[in-house]
Chains A and B, each alone.
Chain A
């Protein structure tokens, strides 16, 4: 149990930690909770605000009043977020962007393989060197098939549909997480558009 003395000290210390005081500090700390922004409101970003406003005007129509624009803005914000989520999903699955990451030397299987064989007598450098000199690190003569055997354990670097599937398999977990964010934005937009229609009906 916390002692009275400790509690008093904690309260005293907490009085001193009241967060940033400068404008710049407050501006920075405002972003602390922001991770990926997929649940955030785009309209709060000045750059995106113009796009949200433009699309809201299209949704509400040229003669819309302030109330109609309010709901149209929510619908526009959600629509642009949905587009963003969809782009993100495509880029996660984009082979062109992911090939280097998946099939580079940092590919876990290769690292595992290297670690396993480094302790014995092989590293990639040693394979090449041995192949050139026809002998291993201890100077024993080795045949090409001896060198090739462990190399066969390397997963061949796939290309074409094989690469696409490999990338798909690797990132599908992350891609699936995006579905939840999209569902939330779709629901938000649906509610806003229903409210907009109801308001229009009331006004007409």
Chain B
């Protein structure tokens, strides 16, 4: 990505700046007051690094440099239009462009690191952004990711697939591998923007490339406790496009780094900074009956697609589950892990159209969500991270199965 492709006036604004130590991109989650507080926080960082803050004009308006501080301030504000240049682009493409623009600006300005903020936190001040930047500046870390407190109901795609799969494949217990808030060193941006960034394969989402690229490139990774994230209300009836948007890039990265993750055994914790900030979580109601209906409908009508992806034993288990009374439907973690692996393999083999494949996984995901929610109903209050840890262990236990299927997909698999 060339810096010239940065939309509207942003390239001229950046061209006026000779160099910087830090580039901070604000996609959302910081209002005008928060932005001014952030500028103060950035000025107070050790060594007063010269910082360029790219602020998304689509969210909450734009602050001027005079508002942010005096003309000689070490912090410069540059308005940033994230959704340009192609209004017809999908949201994931727009965000992908935003990450690439940020990395390109980091390269152009010769900055030591960059950071992108896209989520909103509960009871949090913009100071946490400075905490995200600290390991990049004071230590030799290349990738800093937030560690959001796991929520019972929100962020389940991360808890059920993204986290356990990343942990099991790449051997690092990174709780939010897709950020979306990230701190990235210049070394890692160079690697991501380098000529072999996609290894000749289809372009992927830069967020999905970050963690695998950093782990397989032997770079230093850490997490920062970021508190509880505020999740916008979720439309459970329209999950399939989200599944396709999120899992597609992850499965592509899996294909790209196959040689690396096949050598990895077990998993290890990564350095984690800050203190856990646990707040009482509001309970959100899930329409479990509707989810079970979707699963049962999937078992009835999507058999012909699933039979191309899943082995007979798994299909048999699913049929058995669908015949149970709605209050007894329970998908074991081991079964769920194998389903995810089988879909990842089918994605690699292009068994069917990839978009169809990922969308057809939705009823199975809903069945797992139902089982997960039921466990909390039956067992009462229990720490969410314990439950997620159990799932991650199931993924790790099933990894030999996945490696075997990945290497010999044609081998008989009952």
- Real complex partners, A and B? no
